[in-house]
Chain A
Amino acid sequence: MGILEVKGVNKRFGGLLALDDVNLSIQQNTVHAIIGPNGAGKSTLLNCFIGKLLPDSGTVKFDNSSLIGLKPFQINQAGISRVFQTPEVFADLSILENVMIPAFAHRDGAFHLAPFRSLAKETAIREQAEKILQDVGLVDERHQLASAMSRGNKRRLEMAMCLVQQPKLLLLDEPTAGMARADTNNTIDLLKSINEAHNITFVVIEHDMHVVFSLADRISVLSQGHVIVEDHPSNIKGHPKVQEAYLGTAETQ
């Protein structure tokens, strides 16, 4: 029994069947990559995990409880954190505050009313945030505004924001999209070190094969809304169905 169980999920947009009977079982403490050509339904599937889209049918179970119909904040509170395709941070806040906010969400829940509590007294939260920033290498610039950061550093900050919540599952939507090769490699190293240091299950949606094959323990290949193969990375590369999905059917002589 995996930590995230997807059974028979269908999603239709008008005439397009975006997800066609998708079944997935994601095991605890693995890095599970979901790949597929453009328009295969990767993002649609991800949006069904995070409460942005409601599947037409099927079940999505996390830790044996259904995620269907939950709001984004409820899904986060259940233990799923998310990294966005373009890093989403609180640009007008300092880097430290960016990490303290998810730490508060983790400690106090989705709504906790204490309008006159002093922020300066929250030393535990602050230290926790600083420790995570140390881990991702942003501790020295923690008092700068997040808007002034480079894209690579925003990604680091976003990872820190997720990690401070000690999630059970981390969803990464193309974590290296639009990055230069050096940044990509840094991100891979960062993800690897996080995966080794914390017991977090990763679900990575990715285009870049280099990233996928250096990170993933297991890969599911999505094509036209359907999971065509699920296997170890070593078996994926030469798989005829995968080649067919990416390159089209070879002309048979």
Chain B
Amino acid sequence: MLKTFRTSDRTLMVLFTIFVLAAPLIMAPLGAGYPDLMQRFAIYGIFAIGFNILFGLTGYLSFGHAAFLGVGSYSAVWMLKLLSINIVPAIIFAVVVSGLFALLIGFISLRRSGIYFSILTLAFAQMSYNLAYSVLTPITNGETGLQLDLTDPRILDTVNETSQVASPSFLGLEMGDTAVVQFLGMDLQFNVGFYISALILIGMFYLSLRIFRSPFGMILRAVKSNQTRLNYTGFNSRPYTLTAFVISGMYAGLAGALLVCMDPLAGADRMQWTASGEVVLMTIMGGAGTLIGPVLGAGIIKYFENIFSRINESVVEGWFSALPDGVTDFLTAVVSPFLGSGWHISLGLIFMLVVIFLPGGLVEGASRIMNLVRRLSQTRKTTSSPSVARPLGDDESPEEPPPGSVNTRES
């Protein structure tokens, strides 16, 4: 009777896959259809999905996840330098190393909860950041950042005599390779690096869906809800939270590895606390504890960072140029502080609005709108033809929803 995979989950998975794979088409009209930015959407989406497994499910707010991003980046560059320019060993190595690193930090930090846990993770991340700049310079190459070199040994790659620094590749396809297709007057850019990140993003999304729908995920939600009760229920909660921490650390390491596969330069900046804060913003903005929210949040924040920041005063003036001079000047003066270098102001305002009015993030907003539309269409249906009963097939699940579906914020 019970389906192993719920219909709604399958729909979600299919829609997500289509949306991600069609991103070059969807993003082009928004001015975001270029490879560099789309790669970042996918990679930070992975980062946020992983963060959400820890924060969204267990409620443990880590303020140091950028450390794993950085560790993943450094490990991946080292693999690209020492072993092969192929991205696969680099990614695997980065995930393993960041997982071990997360095991260590999680083991210590998870002895505390709440604000103390957050501070511990923050301290570890800042420590990693400063170590990368100072003591660990032989490994991290300090301020210059770690990058590929002509003298890299790359023991698995036989041909190595070119005068150009190789760029990371997969099965002979370089990450920077892009096919440009003309479509309705737009240049659609289909980029190898983006599609590799996108496929990994889809896989990681599926993995997170499976975790959300597993007994393990349910126990993690119980940690968030009432950890004391969970301990008196016979569960040792520490290994569960530690597992969630390590999984999310590995997601971050994967994201870090992908970042350097697209652009083989690892710098310590990636580990700074602002980067840790960014993933928190992404998750909360999209909707912590929801499946799709973190990806949404990551997309929006990266969009702001890259698109809004480019709209300078002259562009704004162009928008209002049809209006009388005085009005143009006035509107430009009002609008431009929120764009260009002031994009943080608009992002901050949106974040405030989301947190105040939609504590469940943008996903909550979307589900509220859906409910409203459904209610409106239902009332119209009943007022126009009150005698006609609703067709039975309309509601697709006459069978009872399985556990995990009650949480309205999960969608």
Using CB atoms and an 8 Å cutoff, list the residues of chain A in contact with chain B: 50, 71-73, 76-77, 82, 84, 88-94, 96-97, 100-102, 104-106, 108, 110-111, 113-123, 125-126, 143-145, 161, 165
Contact = CB atoms under 8 A, between A and B. Distances in A.
A118 B406 contact: no
Contacts of B235: 73, 101, 104-105, 110-111
B91 interface: no
Contact of B218 (A84, A89, A101): A101
B222 A90 contact: yes
Given A92-B224, A111-B240, A143-B406, A71 B218 contact: no
A100 B402 CA distance: 12
A111 B215 CA distance: 12
A18 B348 CA distance: 55
A93 B225 contact: yes
12 contacts: A71-B236, A72-B231, A84-B229, A88-B226, A91-B225, A94-B403, A97-B221, A104-B218, A111-B240, A113-B239, A114-B215, A118-B4
Contacts of B406: 93-94, 97, 143-145
Given A88-B229, A94-B403, A120 B4 contact: yes
B400 A143 contact: yes
A114 B240 CA distance: 11
Given A73-B234, A111-B236, A111-B239, A118 B225 contact: no
A88 B2 CA distance: 30
Contacts of A106: 234
Q: Give the one of A101, A102, A126, A165 with max B CB within 10 A.
A: A101
Interface residues of B, number: 42
B230 A89 contact: no
B219 interface: yes
A91 B233 CA distance: 15
Nearest to B236: A110
A119 B215 CA distance: 5
A120 B402 contact: yes
A105 B219 CA distance: 10
A106 B215 CA distance: 13
Given A73-B234, A118-B5, A104 B229 contact: no
A50 B233 CA distance: 11
Q: What are the 5 closest A-B residue pairs judged by CB atoms, nearest first?
A: A105-B234, A76-B234, A94-B406, A110-B236, A90-B225
B234 A123 contact: no
Interface in B1-47: 2-6
B26 to A, nearest CB: 30
B403 A123 contact: no
Given A88-B228, A92-B225, A102-B233, A117 B214 contact: yes
Contacts of A90: 221-222, 225-226, 229-230
A101 B236 contact: no
B210 interface: yes
B407 interface: yes
A122 B2 CA distance: 9
Given A77-B234, A120-B2, A104 B219 contact: yes
Given A76-B232, A93-B218, A121-B4, 5 more contacts: A72-B231, A90-B230, A100-B403, A114-B216, A120-B4
Contact of B222 (A73, A93, A119, A125): A93
A116 B214 contact: yes
B2 A123 contact: yes
B6 A101 contact: no
Contacts of A145: 406-407
Nearest to A115: B216
B401 interface: yes
Contacts of A96: 403
A91 B227 CA distance: 11
Contacts of A165: 233-234
B217 to A, nearest CB: 8
B404 interface: yes
Nearest to B216: A115
B209 to A, nearest CB: 10
A118 B217 CA distance: 10
A121 B218 CA distance: 14
